Amino acid sequence: MTHPRPTSSGRTRRRLAAAVVALALPAVFLANSTAATAQDVRGDRRGGHEAADGQFVQRSGSRLTLDGKPFRFAGTNNYYLEYADQVMTDAVLDKASASGSTVMRTWAFFDVPSATDHGDKGVYFQYWDGAKPAFNDGADGLAKLDHVVAQAKAKGLRLIMPMTNNWSSFGGMDQYVAWAGGTHHSDFYTDPVIRGWYKDWVAHLLNRVNTVTGIAYKDDPTIMAWELANEPRCVGSGQFSKDPACSVATLTPWVDEMSTYVKSIDSKHLVGTGDEGFLNIPGVKGDWTRDGSEGVDSQAFAALTNIDYMSYHLYPDNWGKSFDWGTQWIADHSAAARTVHKPSILGEYGVGDRSVRNPVYQKWTDTFRRTGGTGALFWILSDVQTDGTLYPDYDGFTVYASSPVSITLKNFSTALAREGATFPPVADNDVLATDFGTAVSRSVTANDISYGAKLDPSTVDLDPVTAGVQSTWSSAAGTFAAATDGTVTYTPAAGFVGKALATYRVQDRAGRLSNPATITVTVKPSPTAAQTLFDFSNGTQGWAGVNGTGTVSTDAGGHLTIVTTGGWYGAQLAQTENFSTRTQLRFDLVSTTGISPILALKLGSAWTWCEAQAVPWTTSPATGASAITFDLTTLSPSCAAMVNEVHAVYIYANGGQHTIDNVLVN
């Protein structure tokens, strides 16, 4: 199942197992990587926006300014603001502002095949009208973006807005190529008809008058910058193949042409490329981040007259690189930007491994600040959905404002604004699992950070509400015990299954006290006991229709009701489960208008879709000992080999209304 932006920007970034090499930019590359004129490289061709009203963020050589003062910023990204309902949009913008963000990067594109084929979001901006792309200015179109801009203005946030996507999420470049009947992804850059369509979109967007504020987008200082695209490359999501002829010589003229076109309409706003910062260093072979093979030369892009800053992104998890490599990536891009006398903006960065995210983010942001970076935006801030639950962490990079890492990022924002600022330690949450009846240990301070004074692990306090430092904490779930080196050992109570929680705080050697952080240990069920996967006691527990079909709801009795015309329904498990000792998956069928259910599991590292044998048609309730039962031994041999790694459970429901409960395995 594809989520919006599940890979690459949607995170489908190339994973390489190549050896990690720290990036070093040779002087010859810094001096000669572009054919831009000396005047352009010096940065004294500023662009018309620099003479604009002081409310606009402006560029002055290698700096950004606001009201004549240097402007450095920290912030975040969110992609769903443009289509989510106002509750979700406003929640994210509220939390962004409250947690120290001053800039939000969000999409300004949503392209669909046609007005009658526009997916499951109920929103689209651009569609095919039979002859050319047309624009949807209505309530289910650009009026949604009007609300985003107006609310950002109200919250004191500025926006960076990419105008198309390299990846197929929300249409993007491949939708233009599909409209044109093209062959290669890079037709987007080279086909004159497509380039004209893109310019039409840019002109429509920039000249649009916001229906909420009455201000034309091109005149609104809430918008800090336009980006030509999100992560442009020679290759996209795979719908169209890569043209072997596509290279840096393909993308650089496109960036030049389109940035010049944007400035011809809107001289007040900054313009960036929106690329990932890949380089084209002479002599480098085999490292796709530095050899130009993606068609990207970030330094050449930044040196162009009408590009105001160097764009770059950072995802070592997905690029086959180390976190230390990422630190060097930041330093090198700060240096490369100075060489072309432009600011540098780290438009996206993310770490998927939560066990190290907090210290890595501190190291990266410290490096960014120290090396003179202008602005950095983490991926991704999410918050509540309409039903009050948190928006799912689809790609593994989500930061919620309630998380300790959000404190670290707010500290970064404060440090950018106030040189010499220092802070108490930030303790981060720890999540681990253990087998039934088995103790487990973790150094809980390993992912905690401090500022100026080292952490004192002997001060881990497992009962912060009680005076003094408590090194043990007990509950019905078991006992937590802290050693002086910060290692906490959890011993489950006899027979306990489920989640055991403890809260701790820690001090640095200056005596400053951290925020509270949570230790969560999941004790797995006995291999021989039945295990409940979903009981719907607190809501839908993530259950939904694949591709948004039908509706799901729960009643006061904790039952899940599905109303459908026919489709798959289910959810990702709270954690990966091992079904290798299980033979059955069962659920109570409380009521039905008629169903012949089929079970599907997502298994293995590739989340392979595997189906068990269907259950015969029934119109009668089936609960307790008579519950609907799927025989897991009917899985194919290839699927059976992966049941030690179960990620999600889905059930096919025929058209009608069905109420279920107590999904379990035994």
List residues with catalytic annotation.
231, 348
User: Judging by DSSP bridges, how do beta strands 560-577 and 158-162 pair with one another?
Assistant: unpaired
**643 half-sphere exposure, CB direction, 13 A CA radius:** 22
- Concatenated DSSP letters for 579-599? -TT--EEEEEEEEES-B--EE
Alpha-carbon torsion, ordered 256, 261, 262, 264, to 10 deg: 130
Rounded Cα gap, residues 205 and 258, in angstroms: 14
- Residues with Cβ within 8 Å of 226's Cβ and at least 6 positions away in sequence, in order, are 108, 160, 161, 162, 163, 206, 262, 266, 269, 270, 271, 272
Rounded Cα gap, residues 630 and 464, in angstroms: 47
Q: Which of 269, 276, 319, 266 is nearest to 297 (CA)?
A: 276
Query: Looking at the chain, how many residues does it have?
Result: 666
- Residues with Cβ within 8 Å of 581's Cβ and at least 6 positions away in sequence, in order, are 527, 528
> Which tokens hold the place of 605?
């590292």
- Locus of tokens 């004129």: 37
Q: How far is CA 133 from CA 54, 111, 122, 651, in A?
A: 36, 9, 18, 38
What are residue 458's phi and psi, to 5 degrees?
-70, -10
Say how many C-beta atoms besides its own lie within 10 A of residue 325's C-beta: 17
What are residue 295's phi and psi, to 5 degrees?
85, 10
CA-based end-to-end distance of the chain: 26
- Residues with Cβ within 8 Å of 216's Cβ and at least 6 positions away in sequence, in order, are 206, 207, 208, 209, 210
CB of 424 closer than 8 Å to CB of 514: yes
**What's the DSSP call for residue 384?**
B
Q: Which residues of 12-21 are buried (b: 16+ CB within 10 A; e: fewer)?
A: bbeeeeeebe
| 3-state SS track over 220-251 | CCCEEEEECCECCCCCCCCCCECCCCCCHHHH
**249 half-sphere exposure, CB direction, 13 A CA radius:** 4
Conformational region of residue 171, where left means phi above 0, alpha means psi within -120 to 50, and beta covers everything else: left
Q: How far is CA 608 from CA 263, 361, 407, 647, in A?
A: 47, 32, 37, 9
Question: In a 3-state reduction of DSSP, which class is residue 600?
Answer: strand
Rounded Cα gap, residues 273 and 294, in angstroms: 15
Rounded Cα gap, residues 271 and 287, in angstroms: 28
Q: Which of 523, 535, 558, 534 is nearest to 649 (CA)?
A: 534
